[in-house]
Amino acid sequence: MTPRADVAITGVGVVTAAVIGDSAALGAFLGAPSPPSGPALSPGAVATLIDPTEARRLSRVCQLTIAAARLALRESRLDPAAGLGLVIGTEFGDLASTHDFADGFLARGPAGLSALLFPNTVMNTMVATTAIAVGAREMALTLNAPTVAGELAVARGAAAVASGRVPAVLAGGVDELDSVVERELAHLGLGGERRGDGAAFVVLESREAARARGATVLGEVSAAAWRALPARPWGVGRMRRSRAIDAALRAAGARPADVSWVYASASGDEPRDRWEADVLGAALGTRAPVSSLGRLLARHAGLGALRVAAAAWTARSGLLPIVNGTTRLERVPPRRGLVHGLARGGAHVALVVDAA
Amino acid sequence: MSRVVVTGLGAASPFGAGIVAYWKGLSGGVCAIRELTLIDTQSFRCRIGAEVSGPLAGSARRTRADRLAIGAAAEALADAGLGARDRRSAAVVVGAVGGGMLEAEAWYWHGAGDPRPASLRGVLPCAQAEALASRFRIGGPRHTVVTACSSGAVALSEAAALIADGVVDVALAGGVDSITRICFMGFNALKLLDPTPCRPFDRERRGMSIGEGAGFVVLESEAHARGRHARVYATLAGYGTTTDAYHVTAPDPDGDGMVRAMRAALGHAGAAPHEVQYANAHGTGTPQNDRIEARALARVFGEGGLLVSSSKSMIGHTMAAAGSLEAIATVLALEHGVVPPTASLTTPDPDVPFDCVPHASRPAALTCAISNSFGFGGQNVTLLFRRGVA
């Protein structure tokens, strides 16, 4: 049985085309949500977030990761030396460096191979560089998953804190736009959704530890669960009963009626979005309003963690951004909501988020 | 917390398909590192590696990594005797790095033009977990971990955590990687490959040899295994995962992260250093890694405090599969009471103060052993196994 988590969120860091900053910046954006001018962060925006040495040395996706991780850590005022883990979800990793590495060989043979680029072809390069940048020396994981990598990272991080394996975790996601990916997803018939790039992180620690050090608790992950529904890889299934939602609600000691609102992963992949709507409907009924930030912000792995941070904001403010053609704010009962992600292939994640 | 036991083993190794072939090769001290055939190695200084030979499981439309994973996972599930009901709620945790990159490279190398192979769908590391869940109808938690060369071992520790926390009773866990051009070329670019078969812990060692394969285990809570009268190979009594936070490719020269991982595994298992009789080392064969690992082992266990050997001397560095294949080697060493050798070790390095079991395997009444795995980015994992249910 999935155990209760009771994990505090004490820091938020978001680096996306629509919003850059900590929980206050995210709250300001969510309070007056508007679509970004484009799906990708401008090069100038990225350059302002890290020091020039890092800008020269690190790939763009690593820069995004480090910038968002530092923002979250700064807000939490947590000392990494006390024991900090790192869990990063990503769908495509540092694919740009992988292209560059391969292109070097294709252009010049073995002489064109870059020893500096090679480590970036391994998907854990963002973890490796961020661990160094922020001094995270405990467990460090890169989780690769379609669609739900970011929320999966937060769920896994919350579980690690809840079990006492690590005192605190920086958990989140990152991805960047890649022209080859866009072209191939379109070829696979998966080009319908809006894809963006960026990174988002939350700092997770036990409620007691956060209170003991006087940290501001922005919200709580009361329970987190991840399971798989039957579906072929890249396919959309038919089963509606979500064992992840069941397990998360059970662990939180909550009934479906206790969930006042939902942040879903819908982002314009219509078959998958319909499946998720069916799953949510079967688990919770149609009473709880659903926010689909992916339709506004475009989807990337960072969005999973961003939605967890947004859920903490909704739990505090009682406001939920509804994206449905137009974007508006709806007043909802605060306190308890659900963050949900469902991927083609059936992986799905559910997190119960409460006010502090 | 539930105790976690190993009830099923499966391998697709450079010795061929299956655990029997794997153990026969390891215990026989056979080196499976040969001329590479899967990729073009012309114009490279090193042209060898350890490929999985023989027919692969699954459809030829799948990626090579998918097929390696399916073969090893099918064996582990059958070995454990898991029924459909257990599989429905089981977790699947896969350590992967290259995913279906071998096939993607072949396509990209030719200008990324049409026709696109169907196997391009399997290019990401998560493809193998998706394929296993779909093929074997595994419906519990599913995740893919990428911690570079320690991925396979991290998959086991992640699965064990899910069981210990009570999330699931059963998990299929392991690592998989096929040889890829990018991996081969990258290690060439870093000048880390030995043009002859690697010689871990040898004074004359010159680097590593790449390999490929898949290793999967079935992990269960002890209560669940007892309830269905399953055969128990070993107990995964402890594990430790740490990060150096030092350098993207080089390990911390003091081996602090490695030491912390080994001590965390001991602490988690409630084991004293003197209880551990054997370490299946990460042992890549690079001058720096072997020296630092030996130093870290000595700090934790004392010089000469245990037997040490490297499976990579026989199967090369199988990347994401290394951690799980070597964990299986450790379990089999406990099961058979035999320490597999460091096959190519002829001139022991005086900086390695351990008996590294040169050339031939050695009988030893083992009850407790560790398997070390260290990856790029300073991603360290130590798994601690006890024989049987302990």
pLDDT of A108 > 90? The answer is yes
SS3 B139: coil
Torsion (CA) B94, B96, B101, B103 in degrees, nearest 10:
-40
**Which residue on chain A is closest to B379 by alpha carbon?**
A140
Please give the mean pLDDT across all residues of chain A. 93
pLDDT value, residue A309: 98
**Which residue on chain B is closest to A229 by alpha carbon?**
B139
pLDDT tens digits along B20-32 = 999 999 999 999 9
Q: Which two tokens mark A86?
A: 């790192």
Is B186's CB within 8 Å of A101's CB?
A: yes
The residues of B annotated as belonging to the active site are 149, 282, 317
SS3 B123: coil
Contact between B202 and B348 under an 8 Å Cβ cutoff? The reply is yes
A4, A92, A123: best to mutate for the B interface, most B CBs within 10 A: A123
Q: Give the percent of chain A with pLDDT over 90.
A: 81
Q: Is the dihedral of CA B74, B79, B85, B86 positive or negative?
A: negative
Per CB-CB distance under 8 Å, the chain B contacts of A126 are: none
Rounded to 5 degrees, φ, ψ at B172 are -100, 125
Which residue among B112, B142, B246 places its CB closest to the CB of A347? B142
Is A129's CB within 8 Å of B112's CB?
A: no
C-alpha A355/C-alpha B109 separation (Å) is 52
pLDDT tens digits along B257-308 = 999 999 999 999 999 999 999 999 999 999 999 999 999 999 999 999 999 9
Q: Which are the contacts of B83, defined by CB distance < 8 A and separation ≥ 6?
A: none
C-alpha A313/C-alpha A316 separation (Å) is 5
Is B377's CB within 8 Å of A140's CB?
A: yes
Contact between A30 and A321 under an 8 Å Cβ cutoff? The reply is yes
Per CB-CB distance under 8 Å, the chain A contacts of B96 are: 144
Spell out a b/e string for B81-107, using b for 16 or more CB atoms within 10 Å of the CB, else e: ebeeebbbbbbbbbbbbbbbbbbbbeb
A129, A142, A156: best to mutate for the B interface, most B CBs within 10 A: A142
Contact between B203 and B350 under an 8 Å Cβ cutoff? The reply is yes
Is A110's CB within 8 Å of B146's CB?
A: no
Is A141's CB within 8 Å of B154's CB?
A: yes
pLDDT value, residue A218: 98
Higher pLDDT residue, A3 or A1?
Answer: A3
Contact between B220 and B162 under an 8 Å Cβ cutoff? The reply is no
pLDDT tens digits along A247-281 = 999 999 999 999 999 999 998 899 999 999 999 99
Per CB-CB distance under 8 Å, the chain A contacts of B131 are: 233
- Classify residue B245 as left (phi > 0), alpha (psi -120 to 50) or beta: left
CB atoms within 10 A of CB B213: 33
Q: Give the percent of chain A with pLDDT over 70.
A: 100
Residue A278, CA distances (Å) to A152, A237, A315 in order? 21, 11, 24
pLDDT band (50, 70, 90) for residue A22 = very high
Q: Which two tokens mark B310?
A: 């490297």
C-alpha A63/C-alpha A47 separation (Å) is 9
Is A140's CB within 8 Å of B147's CB?
A: yes
Which residue among B140, B249, B376 places its CB closest to the CB of A228? B140
Is the ipTM of this structure higher than 0.90? Answer: yes
**Of A214, A311, A277, A295, nearest to A39 (Cα)?**
A295
Is A119's CB within 8 Å of B377's CB?
A: yes
pLDDT tens digits along B141-154 = 999 999 999 999 99
Is B161's CB within 8 Å of A146's CB?
A: no
CA A101 to chain CA centroid, nearest Å: 27
SS3 A341: strand
C-alpha A265/C-alpha A173 separation (Å) is 14
Rounded to 5 degrees, φ, ψ at A141 are -125, 145
Which residue among B120, B139, B185 places its CB closest to the CB of A113? B185
CA A86 to chain CA centroid, nearest Å: 13
Q: Which two tokens mark B283?
A: 């042992």
pLDDT tens digits along B153-168 = 999 999 999 999 999 9
pLDDT band (50, 70, 90) for residue B221 = very high
B362-377: average pLDDT = 97
A180: distance to nearest CA of chain B, Å? 9
| Helix (H) or strand (E) segment spanning residue A202 | strand A198-206
Residue A232, CA distances (Å) to A7, A193, A212, B132 in order? 33, 19, 47, 10
pLDDT band (50, 70, 90) for residue A103 = very high
pLDDT tens digits along B228-252 = 999 999 999 999 999 999 999 899 9
Establish whether the linkage from the previous residue to B115 is cis, with ω within 30° of 0.
yes
pLDDT value, residue B120: 66
CA A303 to chain CA centroid, nearest Å: 4
C-alpha B182/C-alpha B185 separation (Å) is 5
C-alpha B332/C-alpha B329 separation (Å) is 5
pLDDT value, residue B119: 63
A32-49: average pLDDT = 85
pLDDT value, residue B117: 64
Alpha helices of chain B — where are they, by DSSP H?
Answer: 19-27, 64-80, 84-89, 101-109, 127-136, 151-164, 181-189, 222-227, 256-269, 287-301, 312-315, 322-336
Per CB-CB distance under 8 Å, the chain B contacts of A247 are: 167
B177, B185, B382: best to mutate for the A interface, most A CBs within 10 A: B185
A1: distance to nearest CA of chain B, Å? 5
Q: Which are the contacts of A300, defined by CB distance < 8 A and separation ≥ 6?
A: A16, A91, A150, A173, A174, A175, A176, A195, A196, A197, A198
pLDDT value, residue B2: 79
CB atoms within 10 A of CB B200: 30
pLDDT of A202 > 60? The answer is yes
Is B379's CB within 8 Å of A127's CB?
A: yes
pLDDT band (50, 70, 90) for residue B318 = very high
pLDDT value, residue B238: 98
Per CB-CB distance under 8 Å, the chain B contacts of A350 are: none
pLDDT tens digits along A307-354 = 999 999 999 999 999 987 788 999 999 889 999 999 999 999 999 999
pLDDT of B1 > 80? The answer is no
pLDDT band (50, 70, 90) for residue B192 = very high
3-state helix, strand, coil in chain B (%, to 5): 35, 25, 40
SS3 B2: coil
pLDDT band (50, 70, 90) for residue B112 = low
Paired residues of B211 in beta bridges: B50
Most distant CA atoms of chain B, gap in Å: 60
**Of B383, B313, B290, B281, nearest to B14 (Cα)?**
B313
Question: Number of residue pairs across A and B with CB atoms under 8 Å?
Answer: 192
* Terminal C-alpha separation, chain A: 24
**Which residue on chain B is closest to A146 by alpha carbon?**
B126
- DSSP codes of every residue in B166-182: TS-SEEEEEEEE---HH
pLDDT of B115 > 70? The answer is no
pLDDT value, residue B342: 98
C-alpha B361/C-alpha B358 separation (Å) is 8
A112-129: average pLDDT = 96
Is A123's CB within 8 Å of B143's CB?
A: no
pLDDT value, residue B81: 97
Strands A84-90 and A168-175: parallel
The vertex-A15 CA angle with A26 and B143, nearest 5°, equals 100
Per CB-CB distance under 8 Å, the chain A contacts of B185 are: 101, 105, 110, 113, 118
Contact between B219 and B5 under an 8 Å Cβ cutoff? The reply is yes
**Which residue on chain B is closest to A152 by alpha carbon?**
B143
Strands B4-13 and B234-243: antiparallel
Which residue among A91, A165, A226 places its CB closest to the CB of B143? A226
pLDDT value, residue B36: 98
CB atoms within 10 A of CB A232: 16
C-alpha A154/C-alpha A204 separation (Å) is 8
C-alpha A321/C-alpha A313 separation (Å) is 11
C-alpha B156/C-alpha B174 separation (Å) is 6
C-alpha B118/C-alpha B131 separation (Å) is 14
Please give the mean pLDDT across all residues of chain B. 95
B4-32: average pLDDT = 98
Per CB-CB distance under 8 Å, the chain A contacts of B158 are: 141
Residue A347: CA count within 13 A, CB half-sphere: 30
Return the minimum-mean-pLDDT range out of A34-43, A171-180, B171-180, B297-306. A34-43
Per CB-CB distance under 8 Å, the chain B contacts of A163 are: 161, 164-165
Q: Which are the contacts of B164, defined by CB distance < 8 A and separation ≥ 6?
A: A163, B1, B2, B3, B4
C-alpha B55/C-alpha B68 separation (Å) is 10
SS3 A318: coil
Per CB-CB distance under 8 Å, the chain B contacts of A141 are: 145, 147, 154, 158
pLDDT band (50, 70, 90) for residue A10 = very high
pLDDT band (50, 70, 90) for residue B116 = low
pLDDT tens digits along A61-85 = 999 999 999 999 999 999 999 999 9
Is A225's CB within 8 Å of B158's CB?
A: no
Is B161's CB within 8 Å of A159's CB?
A: yes
